[in-house]
A and B are shown apart, each in its own frame.
Chain A
Amino acid sequence: MERVSRILGYTVILFMILSLYGAFRIAPTERIMGDVQRIFYFHVSIALQAFIAFFVVFIASIVYLLKKDLLWDRLASCAAEIGLLFTTLVLITGMLWARPVWNVWWTWDPRLVTTLILWFIYVAYFMVRSAVTDPGRRARFSAVIGIVGFIDVPIVRLSTRWWRSIHPLLSQEGGGLDPTMMKVMLLVMVTFTLFNLWLLWYRFNLAQMDKEVEDLKMTLEEGG
């Protein structure tokens, strides 16, 4: 298992180098937005992975409530942590893109608001986790939040879109993407999917080790 993880890790590094090369060298410079458009490839890929991570939280939370195996709680919390990391990066890179292109750091566009709300929900998820000591109870509570939070996302998206529907959106992406840009985009997306997979695996492994430490301590206490 460890070897598979290692191979996957090296693959990620290789793909990451290719992606960087693709985003900076192969992809043409966008005519209107200029170089800053090169944020796009990584920004969108990370956003997608954040969403996938939260989807994993959602599924793992449901499975936990059905099976009551703390393994699923560990998986959910690891995925939530990675999702939160990615969401933070998406928000920051998004602002750095918005500033030169739209001339503002932030705009209340539905996509931006939804990402921000998502971030709030999963920060609260971890605040609840750290405020409950009993593992079973913590798992049940966070599973409920993981499920409710994920289902809420499309509704937030819809409501924020209706809310600002009077204004023409600033963020209309315009026509289709240049084919080379599209290819680079796909490459970066694959890279980050692999990265997400590896990261989740690695992080989950750590959570399992943490559990093993707890178990060993318990054995020692019982014996001693």
Chain B
Amino acid sequence: MRKEVDVKNWIYLFTAYAVIWTGVLIYLLKQFGEQRRLAREIERLKAEVKGLKGRQ
């Protein structure tokens, strides 16, 4: 019962994969950036804690 489909529909296929990959990439890049920020923050804070302990 399915009606004929225009088979030249690669544009939809292309868009779908583009959406998947941009979505995933944006998310991943955000996470990578976040990880670097947090790693730096932890290092800085650890050094500060050490300095504080040294003074005490």
Taking beta carbons and an 8 Å cutoff, which residues of A are in contact with B? 32-36, 38-39, 42-43, 46, 85, 88-89, 92-93, 96-97, 99-101, 103, 168, 174, 202-203, 205-206, 209-210, 212-213, 216-217, 219-220, 223-224
**Does the CB pair B19–A96 fall under 8 Å?**
yes
Q: Which residues of B sit under 8 angstroms from A43, Cβ to Cβ? A: 16
Q: Which residues of A sit under 8 angstroms from B41, Cβ to Cβ? A: 213
Sample of 19 more A-B contacts, CB < 8 Å, known A85-B27, A223-B49: A33-B9, A34-B8, A35-B10, A42-B17, A43-B16, A89-B19, A89-B20, A89-B24, A92-B16, A92-B19, A100-B12, A103-B3, A206-B34, A209-B35, A209-B38, A213-B45, A216-B45, A216-B48, A220-B52
Q: Which of A34, A205, A212 contacts B9 (CB 8 A)?
A: A34
Taking beta carbons and an 8 Å cutoff, which residues of B are in contact with A? 1-10, 12-13, 15-17, 19-20, 23-24, 27, 31, 34-35, 38-39, 41-42, 45-46, 48-49, 52-53, 56
Q: Chain B binding site: helix, strand, loop or mixed by DSSP?
A: helix
18 A–B pairs (Cβ distance < 8 Å), ordered by A: A34-B9, A36-B9, A36-B13, A38-B13, A42-B17, A85-B23, A85-B24, A89-B20, A92-B16, A92-B23, A97-B16, A100-B5, A101-B5, A202-B35, A206-B34, A209-B42, A216-B46, A216-B48
Q: Which residues of B sit under 8 angstroms from A32, Cβ to Cβ? A: 2, 4-5
**Does the CB pair A216–B6 fall under 8 Å?**
no
From known contacts A85-B23, A209-B38, A209-B39, infer whether A34 and B45 are also in contact, taking CB-CB under 8 Å.
no
Q: Chain A binding site: helix, strand, loop or mixed by DSSP?
A: helix
- B42: min CB distance to chain A, Å: 6
Tell me the complex Cα distance, A206–B15, Å.
31
**Does the CB pair A220–B8 fall under 8 Å?**
no
Q: Which residues of B sit under 8 angstroms from A92, Cβ to Cβ? A: 16, 19, 23
